[in-house]
Amino acid sequence: NTVMTQSPTSMFISVGDRVTMNCKASQNVGTNVDWYQQKTGQSPKLLIYGASNRYTGVPDRFTGSGSGTDFTLTISNMQAEDLAVYYCLQYNYNPHTFGAGTKLELK
Amino acid sequence: QVTLKESGPGILQPSQTLSLTCTFSGFSLSTYGMGVGWIRQPSGKGLEWLANIWWDDDKYYNPSLKNRLTISKDTSNNQAFLKITNVDTADTATYYCARIPPPFAYWGQGTLVTVSS
């Protein structure tokens, strides 16, 4: 199976911060990586598909980048509403595999 | 407007078969390129992909569940189904269905399934 290793596990941030989180695949997955945001008690929400394509309605402060084995999600100008757990997903191989998540918390 | 809603038994006993239904609107599983996936999440833990089914009835499963999974669809009634045989406490989770493409663009609210004797 393709292991998706997310880092860091958690981050303590302030409103207005620039936030960068990473996802490393155990093998080349091309650009077949999505990023999801999950707030407490809610279903995950698609933010980025195909590694770098912002999904419809997603604010432009969210940016995805990377290819191959290394991927990054950046939130510029962090907002309080962005507090959540973020997951990456690779769908290049079966089984599709999620990272363990990066939790954003307020300082 | 795309919506999905999962339904399930709520609680069942070990060794039983879990049957889940995803009822959706706003798209058709007979449309070229469309698919539905199932994903689960134990309370307080991460996400695990289970299976996908496509418009052409192509199916993909997570092999870690060792042939316990069966995914199917009823195109006429806009439903997708997932069965998990021989459940145990490790199958306790919130189960989601989600539309593809892209994986996974729209999610249901999830249905909590508890396996307990």
Per-residue pLDDT averaged across B80-87, rounded? 98
Q: Closest-CA residue in chain B for A53?
A: B102
Per-residue pLDDT averaged across A87-105, rounded? 96
Whether the pLDDT of residue B96 is over 90: the answer is: yes
CA A11 to CA A18: how far, in whole Å? 12
Residues in Cβ contact with A60 at an 8 Å cutoff, skipping those fewer than 6 apart: A54
Whether the pLDDT of residue B101 is over 90: the answer is: no
Per-residue pLDDT averaged across A1-29, rounded? 97
CA B97 to CA B19: how far, in whole Å? 13
Tens digits of per-residue pLDDT, B22-80? 999 999 999 999 999 999 999 999 999 999 999 999 999 999 997 999 999 999 999 99
What residues of B are in contact with residue A91 (Cβ under 8 Å)? 103
Give yes or no for a contact between A43 and B105, defined as CB atoms under 8 angstroms apart: no
Percent of chain A surpassing pLDDT 90: 99
Tokens 């394509």, residue located: A53
Predicted confidence at residue B66, as pLDDT, reads 73
Instruction: Tell me whether strands A102-106 and A33-38 are parallel, antiparallel or unpaired.
Output: unpaired
A18-77 residues touching B, CB cutoff 8 A: 34, 36, 43-46, 49-50, 55
Q: How confident is residue B102, by pLDDT bands cut at 50, 70 and 90?
A: confident
Instruction: Tell me whether strands B59-61 and B48-54 are parallel, antiparallel or unpaired.
Output: antiparallel
Predicted confidence at residue B60, as pLDDT, reads 94
CA B65 to CA B46: how far, in whole Å? 16
Taking the Cβ of residue B92 and every Cβ of chain A, the question of whether any pair is shorter than 8 Å is answered with: no
Tokens read off for A17:
């911060």
Tens digits of per-residue pLDDT, A17-46? 999 999 999 999 999 999 999 999 999 999
Per-residue pLDDT averaged across B101-116, rounded? 93
Whether the pLDDT of residue B106 is over 90: the answer is: yes
Order the strands of the A70-75 sheet from edge to edge: A4-7, A19-25, A70-75, A62-67
Predicted confidence at residue B1, as pLDDT, reads 93
> Beta-carbon neighbour count of residue B5 at 10 Å?
14
- A vs B, Cβ pairs < 8 A, gives 55
Give yes or no for a contact between A62 and A55, defined as CB atoms under 8 angstroms apart: no
CA distance B49 to chain A (A): 6
